[in-house]
Structures are given as C-alpha cells and as structure tokens.
Chain A
Amino acid sequence: MSKNAIMAGLVVFVAMALLPFWYNIGGSSAAPEPELSEKAKAAQKCVLDKYDMRANHMSLLDEWRDSVVRDADRLYESTNGKTFQMSLSTGEESCLGCHTDKEKFCDKCHTYASVDPYCWECHTTPKEINQ
C-alpha cells in the first residue's frame, strides 16, 4: 500500500478516536439541574433518598407498574416511613403531582443522557393536555 494512503487512513483514525475531544469544543458540558417545583421543595422528601432516586427511579417505576397493573396494589411504603400512591401521573400524590413540570424535571436529564423513556407512550402530563 502506498504511504499516502496509509497516512490518510491514519489521520482519519486519529480524528475518529479523538472525536469526543473536538466535538464538544465550544459547547456547554455542565450537567443539567432538574428544577424542583415549589411543592417538591416544600415536601423535602421523595420516595427514596436522592442518590437512590437518581440511579434507581426507572426500576422503581417498573415495579410500580407491575404492582398496580397485575396486583392492583397501589400503596407504596417508602423507607422513610411515608406511604405513597403508586402512580406516575394521576393525583396529587403521584410523581407528576409533585414534580409538575415534565420538561423542566424529567426531560432535562433524559435529554442530557440520551434516554428516551417509553413512559410517555401511554402517559401524558396534565400540562400537555391543557395546551
């Protein structure tokens, strides 16, 4: 193979290997802060601790769905002693009842991490309905 072809290939390889370093130049890399509603701020406590909630909320929602749909069991007793209604979007006690703004709360991090949850294929946020 000719030297020029090898060098061209090598340049392409190095550019691709270092893609993350040049792709992000000029952009902002700061992690988004989900905005808490007044109600959430006042409540202080969520279903789980903060780190647990950040890492584990999707599994919790999965368990809730099974519990509600299959066993009709809607009560969740949290580790901090409080009891919650298992629901994503219905009622004051639900996730969206407290975290009222999906765009400012859920979507911020989901977009940042490129996560596309299929919650919203069935559920809608009350706000979206009003619009």
Chain B
Amino acid sequence: MNQKYMVPLAGVLLLFLLAYAGVEGAGMQWFFGIIVPYVAVIAFVGGFVRRVMGWAASAVPFRIPTTCGQQKSLPWIKQNCIDNPDKASGVFMRMVLEIFLFRSLFRNTKAAFNRNEKNKLTYSWEIFLWVGALAFHYSFLVVIIRHLRFFLEPVPSCLKFLEFFDGIVQLGLPGLFISGAVLLLAALFLLARRIFDAKVSYISLAADYFPLFLIIGIAASGIAMRYFTKVDIIGIKSFTMGLVTFHPVIPDGVGGLFYAHIFMVSALFAYFPVSKLMHMGGIFLSPTRNMANNNRAKRHVNPWNYAVDIHTYEQYEDHFREKMIDAGLPVDKKE
C-alpha cells in the first residue's frame, strides 16, 4: 500500500460513484451526459492547442539529437542513416519508426544483480514494457476509432472493415472485440509493472497512476456494458448523435453505468492537456528525435542573435595610426 496509488484509485472510484449516484439517485443525466462532455471537448482541444503553441514558441537554439549510431563521416565509414540522421529523409524515417513502433522503448534495458555467487551487476534487454506499450496504444487506438460508429451517421465502410477484423473470433453475442480485451489486459499489465517492480514503483507518482486507473475504469465499464449488463445501443447512438449535432437528447432507460463511463471519458479528455498524456503531441516535437545531426556540417545561426557593432582592425588602425607610428609600431597603411 502506498498513497501514490491509493489516492488516484480513490479519485477514480469517486468519479465513478459521483456520476453513478448523480444519475441513479439525483437524476442528473443532463449534467453528466450533456454539460460535462461539452466542457471536456473544449478543455481537450483548447488545452491541447495551447500546450503545443507554447512548445512551438519556445526557442530551440541548438541541435540536440540523441545519436544511436555512426555519424556521417569519411566516405569509407558507413553511416547509420536512421539512428544518426544528417538529412531530413533520415529524420523522417526515425520519427515514423519512433511514433509507430516505439523504437527507443524497444532498446529498453534493465539493471539487475546476477543470481549466482558472483552477484555481478548486469544490464539485460527488457522487452515487456515495449510489448505492453504497443498492445496498449494500438488497442486503445482501435477502441477509439471503433467508437466513431456512435458519432458518425452514416457509418463509413472503413469502420465496418475495422469492426470485422476486430470481431473476427466471433465469440459470443454480441461478438467479442479483441481490442477491448487487449486494452484492459495491457493497462492492467502496465499498472502491475508500476506496483510490483520496486524500481519502477519508486519513481512512480500519483500522476502516473491516475490515467492508468482512469483508463482501466473506462475499459472495464465499457466491457461491462457491452458483454454483461447490456444497454440499449440505439438509445445511446441517438444520445451521442444529439451531442455532436448540438441537439442533445437524453435516452430513456439508460442507466448510471453508461453515464459513469461517459464521465470518466470526459475526465480523461479534460485531464489530457495538463498531464503526461500530452506525449501524444509531444512525441512529434521531441528535439532529441526530430532534428538532423548536422551541427558541424551546416552553419546554424542562433535565432535570437542581434546585430553586433564590430570594430575592425582597419578602423582601429585609422583611430590610432599616428600614435602607433610615434611609438614605432608597424602599420598596414602609412597615411
């Protein structure tokens, strides 16, 4: 037990209960279903734009790419074009691999003492964080795209295509979507890593646990609604379509669990721009990845350099020529 995860856990439970009790007890569907989602969308988009504009305004005076391979050098030395790029094409490849495959996480290592009498400190490759992160991010992406079926009318055929592959196991009715299950399991794995790995636990803060608990809560409530407690999906689509066409309606008979789901999603969106989740935008702007390593090959002028008044030797000599000649010093121009 440790307050760094007990407080966020209590917070997420409180959010859940607030919406559940607010709807089931106080009948505040309009608040949790209409006002909160609109506020969350405004906070998300506005906050996101503000954050990125702030980053765009900060100076990046010097190239600081992290180099992970041979720099461009003499012609007979082979350059690592992606891990130490000197051209935009290499940087582009590096960013694509980083964004889609989390390449730097793939290189993750762990330090541990050997479990034999030598007890030597060794560094070994640790791939599970990368696997968990890929599973988590991609399943979350698929889940979010899948949810567009509630927000678009008519539903585009590419979404049906995605749903077909996501539900390809045809397990049960309504059919199991693999992405939902993978999302919950991956989020639980990432949480377990933070709780049970002593070294990770030591550096984990409440801000690391809160989004994890929130996402676990969202995934669990969504899965509960789809497979176990069941909700009227047509009523829900009329509700979501009402929100996006600015004619909000409250569907009949939809219970507190749905509003708790919506409220937690809204909380996640509103919290997004002020949290570590902003790595979604930040990854594009990481200066250690998105710059070519051409510090010495090209001249980079400091962007805030002002014009400096210079005093050349000719001007100096013009000024002091007579005194220099009197003192017997050599001069370039004699009168």
Contact = CB atoms under 8 A, between A and B. Distances in A.
Interface string B134-157: 000000000000001111111100
Contact of A27 (B55, B154, B173, B284): B154
Instruction: From A3, A9, A109, A113, name the one whose CB has the most chain B CB atoms within 10 angstroms.
Output: A113
B172 interface: yes
Interface residues of B: mostly helix, strand, loop or mixed? helix
A115 B237 CA distance: 12
A31 B234 contact: yes
5 contacts: A1-B285, A3-B56, A30-B238, A31-B237, A51-B232
Contact of A29 (B233, B235, B241): B241
B305 interface: no
Nearest to A23: B152
B247 interface: yes
Nearest to A28: B153
Given A14-B49, A55-B230, 5 more contacts: A1-B56, A6-B285, A9-B284, A24-B153, A114-B149
A59 B56 contact: no
Interface string A104-126: 00000101111111100000000
Interface residues of B, number: 46
B160 interface: yes
B213 interface: no
Given A7-B56, A116-B163, A20 B152 contact: yes
Contact of A59 (B48, B154, B173): B173
Interface residues of A, number: 38
A17 B238 contact: no
Contacts of B56: 1, 3, 6-7
A69 interface: no
Contacts of A1: 56, 60, 284-285, 290
A27 B153 CA distance: 7
A114 B231 contact: no
Closest A-B pairs by Cβ, 3 of them? A20-B151, A31-B238, A29-B241
Contacts of B5: none
Given A31-B237, A31-B238, A13 B48 contact: yes
Contacts of B252: 51
